[in-house]
A and B are shown apart, each in its own frame.
Chain A
Amino acid sequence: MKKIKKTGLVFFPAFDWAISPTHPEREERLLYTQDQVFEEGLLDFENIIEYKPGLATYEDINRIHISVPDAEKVTTQSHLISAGGAITAAEKVMEKNVDNAFALVRPPGHHAMRVVHGARGFCNINIEAIMIEYIRRKYGPKRIAVVDTDCHHGDGTEDIFWHDPHTLYISVHQDGRTLYPGTGFPREFGGPNAYGCNINIPLPPGTSEEGFLFTLDNVILPILKDYNPDIIINSAGQDNHYTDPITNMNFTAQGYAILSERLSPHIAVLEGGYSVETALPYINVGIILAMAGLDYSQVREPDYDPALIKQKPETTKYIEELASALMKKWESRNDEKNKLPRSGQFESRTKSIYYDTDNIHEEQTESVRLCNDCSGLVTVDSRATTGNRIFAVIVPGQSCPVCRKRGEEIFASKSKSLYDYIYFQDRDCDVYECRKR
């Protein structure tokens, strides 16, 4: 007998919103999911409670993003509702109204990075990141793990939490050499102050249930056990499914349900998944049943045939080797971290970012202060083909006095002549300022 759990469901299919009429992110996306969830009568279960999404505020967005020129300009109501839906799910869990919650909302968010000049990978704002910062603001500092099971590398979430040792980001996805956004390799292991807090598990095309569950049991769950987070969040993308039109994996509805049961996230948030008719209805029913501790053994796709999606032996071998290499890297993370310099100096990286949805290029230099006492002050100098150049100072949560003071000095001293906008984001004091040219 499974343990019955009280599960919150924030369901918002946004039946009147699309990126464009034939875009994968269109009105029809959750239509058949709604049909299946309603027909199964899931909302009549005493332990499954539906909640209406709240609306995220621009303040919620400003705690995590540097939006150019501002949060209002880079979002529509649909984004405020999907971020608001994630926040509602989190609130119901944090207030102990439910044991866990699933925000079955759209549009998704995991490709949205810290700086937002426009939309990329169907995402404008990072709804999980906004939710996480909301949790910390309202309920105090928390150790949080995000397990991203979308088929695409969540490069936005990786970017936002790159320097944050209080957030462990694990992404399992189709190898970036074969799929958008082309990142997400094991060498991306977290910034110098958060080394080992960013784990990428790139799986080869054709990975089936076997490979995903092996990775879960042999990499994700052991790492989570070591990290010991207060809260586990699942970025529950569903595009690993064998029928997804824009990816090449062989995962199943049963597989997603088993994964949800074993991972046992406090909060799950829908990300991608574009096989709207043959996959999503079954995956979502499976995830909801699994989260609620109900029997999901009869959930399967109409065309399910294990023989057709059997994993090749060489894929299995590749995944086993990858897993053992990743675990070695994880186990030696503290030794490696200790070898990094701790000088109080700044370390920089430069990035070229392409916004495919909006066709914008961005060049960015991001610097972090190497700090033994906190996550480290971050500054960003960014220029986009929109013509905007901005500078941002980010004082992290639980910051040390030195990083804070340096941040305030840098913000005060930046000349307006070079930049269109200069931002100051202070997570401890919940301050967000913007100076315009």
Chain B
Amino acid sequence: MILGIDVGGTHTDAVLIDGNRVVEKVKVVTDRIDLSRSLLKVTDKALHETNPEDLERVVLSTTISTNAIVQNLTSPVGMILASGPGLSPSALRINENCHFVSGYVNHRGIPVAPIDKGTVQKTGMLFKTSGIDHIGIVGKFSCRNPDIETDIEDALGFTFSHCSLGHRMSGNLNFPRRIATTYLNASISDIYGDFITMVTAFAGRFKASFPIFILKADGGTFEINQSARYPVQTILSGPAASIMGILSLAEFTTDAVALDIGGTTTDIAIFADGSPLLEPLGVTIAGHKTLIRGLRTRSIGIGGDSAAEFVNGEYIIGPERKGPAAAFGGPCPTPTDAMVVLGLTEIGDKEKALAAIGTIAQKAGHTAGKAAETIFDETCRKIARAVIGMVEEVNNEPVYTIHELLEGKRIKPERLYAVGGPAEPMAPAIGSILGYSVNIPDHAEVANAVGAALARTTTELTVLADTEKMIATIVEEGLQLSISPKFSKADAIGICKEKLRERALSMGAAEEDLELEIIEEHVFNMVRGYSKVGQNIRIKGQVKPGLISRCMKSAPAR
């Protein structure tokens, strides 16, 4: 059995899954002061008839990292940047403890200037004396040659409690994002470390031992001890949990759109052939653009509790939420009240809903029925427009080959999957505007916990080979190998798959869930003068985000 727990800001949800059946679902209010109490409470409830020894694994989705960043509960980080030529350092200064050092590699990973060890050591001393114990080291093009960062680390001359290196965060290009990612990773390492201690203590209270996994922003998991070095990967796992939940509850292999309609906001995600789309570069958090692999979601400020107003001849809905719906004692009319008035749902106090809709109807000179209908329509239309906008954005993503430009895949969703409180009354109307068929999965109210429980372990890996320099780099592992001038694309793909497999297994993946795929493969002949001097080979592979294998066999029982 698998226990999936989603620790959200308001509620902590748990599901117990046996085979592919949800056998238990539990919701408790999150204790924000002491998360372990929520964990214990929800687990006790979920396991009341189950022996902990029967647990194959426990998967947690947590907001701990997200909250630490958003609420600024982070540790000070000493940043050392080898920025080389290009953008001016003033554009790269991420915090007040940012130091720039000389030395850089170029776009091919060829060292151009060595680091100045003396300066690095002095900087290390400065950090030490000012009590900074968390370090981030980032070099331009370090994803092409990690030596630049390891050399700096070696030259520091002191031991710090945490040191994050840029190339370990991602194999993708983007120096400013690498800086932000490395900084955030170092800044939350303490608070995340406390979380691990807490979870380990919590697990220790059971007589049984079971592996614990943590959900990442890309909708994949990693084993808890593996997560300790890369806490930043766990940000924004809340929306990821819902999306993976929809995938596991509905099971589909087509292009589709998923909506999580909440009180204040609605989250949109897109699936291509049944796989959730990832952000092209990385997710954005608290204004930081990062290289963190994450599911591509858009959040719009409209939901069941959005305030509805009549201004200048128009009904305006959201983005503000002034409180719950009037039907639940809230201060103003909302889409939920409109749905209550229209008889689309039977929740709350209908009289209060009618009264609230009545005031806005009077202002508009409409009947209450007409007002409710218009508010409801406009809410659904706004969400539908955002869906269309997001699909268009995905389809207009720049591409760099003629083949992709002329024949690249275009997303054409035909199905809408919706979860969240107002999903049942709203999804059919949104679907009909979009011309999509509509599906509301069972157990939708705990989709997040189901998603966490059933997500597989994911990771990606970049292999670069330069046959002129006779070097292959396995970027995220910080490895460089000597290769022969005859090293081929097939060789690079072979190494990528092998190392990717090892990496995924070490992160806790199960053998049967290693759905490896090569997502980028480029080979360029390098020509100098009029003759070929070598090949520049670039391979990126991933474990495809998805569900652990046994859920793929059949849909969960109803």
A405 to B417, CA, bound (A): 65
B174 on the interface (CB 8 Å rule)? yes
**Do residues A52 and B402 form an inter-chain contact, with CB atoms below 8 A?**
no
**Do residues B87 and A28 form an inter-chain contact, with CB atoms below 8 A?**
no
B112 on the interface (CB 8 Å rule)? yes
Interface size on B, residues (CB 8 A): 43
**Do residues B86 and A298 form an inter-chain contact, with CB atoms below 8 A?**
yes
**Do residues B401 and A14 form an inter-chain contact, with CB atoms below 8 A?**
yes
A44 on the interface (CB 8 Å rule)? yes
Write the chain B residue with the least CB distance to A45: B91
Known pairs A11-B400, A27-B524, A38-B173; A298 contacts B88 (CB<8 A):
yes
A53 on the interface (CB 8 Å rule)? yes
Chain B residues, Cβ within 8 Å of A15: 400-401, 522, 524
Interface segment out of the listed A16-24, A113-121, A129-137, A348-356: A16-24
A38 to B282, CA, bound (A): 13
Beta-carbon contacts of A309-352 to B below 8 Å, as 1s and 0s?
Answer: 00000000000000000000000000000000000000000000
A31 to B524, CA, bound (A): 8
**Do residues B525 and A300 form an inter-chain contact, with CB atoms below 8 A?**
no
Write the chain B residue with the least CB distance to A41: B176
A27 to B532, CA, bound (A): 13
In chain A, residues 1-29, which have Cβ atoms closer than 8 Å to a Cβ of chain B? 11-17, 21-22, 26-28
Q: Which of A17, A294, A301 contacts B402 (CB 8 A)?
A: A17
**Do residues A16 and B401 form an inter-chain contact, with CB atoms below 8 A?**
yes
**Do residues A52 and B177 form an inter-chain contact, with CB atoms below 8 A?**
no
A298 to B405, CA, bound (A): 34
Write the chain A residue with the least CB distance to B179: A41
Chain A residues, Cβ within 8 Å of B176: 40-41, 44
**Do residues B173 and A298 form an inter-chain contact, with CB atoms below 8 A?**
no
In chain B, residues 524-556, which have Cβ atoms closer than 8 Å to a Cβ of chain A? 524-532, 536
**Do residues B532 and A22 form an inter-chain contact, with CB atoms below 8 A?**
yes
Beta-carbon contacts of B467-484 to A below 8 Å, as 1s and 0s?
Answer: 000000000000000000
Write the chain A residue with the least CB distance to B405: A81
Number of A-B contacts (CB under 8 A): 109
A44 to B176, CA, bound (A): 9
Q: Smallest Cβ distance from A150 to chain B, in angstroms? A: 21
A305 on the interface (CB 8 Å rule)? no
**Do residues A40 and B86 form an inter-chain contact, with CB atoms below 8 A?**
yes
In chain A, residues 51-84, which have Cβ atoms closer than 8 Å to a Cβ of chain B? 51-53, 77-78, 81
A285 to B87, CA, bound (A): 9
**Do residues B400 and A13 form an inter-chain contact, with CB atoms below 8 A?**
yes
Chain B residues, Cβ within 8 Å of A16: 401-403
Chain B residues, Cβ within 8 Å of A285: 86
A16 to B88, CA, bound (A): 33
Known pairs A52-B405, A81-B405, A298-B85; A41 contacts B175 (CB<8 A):
yes
**Do residues A39 and B140 form an inter-chain contact, with CB atoms below 8 A?**
yes
Chain A residues, Cβ within 8 Å of B400: 11-15, 34
A428 to B526, CA, bound (A): 47
Chain B residues, Cβ within 8 Å of A294: 91
Q: Which of B107, B112, B281, B398 has the most CB of A within 10 A?
A: B107
Chain B residues, Cβ within 8 Å of A12: 398, 400, 405
Chain B residues, Cβ within 8 Å of A26: 525, 527
**Do residues B530 and A22 form an inter-chain contact, with CB atoms below 8 A?**
yes
Known pairs A21-B525, A31-B536, A295-B90; A51 contacts B398 (CB<8 A):
yes
Q: Smallest Cβ distance from A11 to chain B, in angstroms? A: 7
Write the chain A residue with the least CB distance to B140: A39
Q: Smallest Cβ distance from B383 to chain A, in angstroms? A: 26
A245 on the interface (CB 8 Å rule)? yes
Beta-carbon contacts of A263-302 to B below 8 Å, as 1s and 0s?
Answer: 0000000000000010001100100010000110111111
**Do residues B112 and A302 form an inter-chain contact, with CB atoms below 8 A?**
yes
**Do residues B177 and A28 form an inter-chain contact, with CB atoms below 8 A?**
no
Chain A residues, Cβ within 8 Å of B63: none
A32 on the interface (CB 8 Å rule)? yes
Q: Which of B83, B86, B113, B396 contacts A36 (CB 8 A)?
A: B86
Known pairs A50-B398, A52-B398; A32 contacts B108 (CB<8 A):
yes
Chain A residues, Cβ within 8 Å of B89: 298
Chain A residues, Cβ within 8 Å of B399: 52
Q: Smallest Cβ distance from A289 to chain B, in angstroms? A: 8
A409 on the interface (CB 8 Å rule)? no
**Do residues A297 and B86 form an inter-chain contact, with CB atoms below 8 A?**
no
Q: Smallest Cβ distance from A266 to chain B, in angstroms? A: 22
A35 on the interface (CB 8 Å rule)? yes
A-B pairs with beta carbons under 8 Å apart, 15 shown: A12-B405, A14-B401, A15-B400, A15-B522, A21-B532, A27-B524, A28-B536, A32-B108, A39-B174, A40-B86, A41-B175, A52-B397, A245-B528, A295-B88, A298-B89
Task: List the 8 closest pairs (A to B, CB-CB), nearest first.
Answer: A41-B176, A35-B107, A38-B173, A295-B88, A16-B401, A302-B112, A39-B173, A28-B524
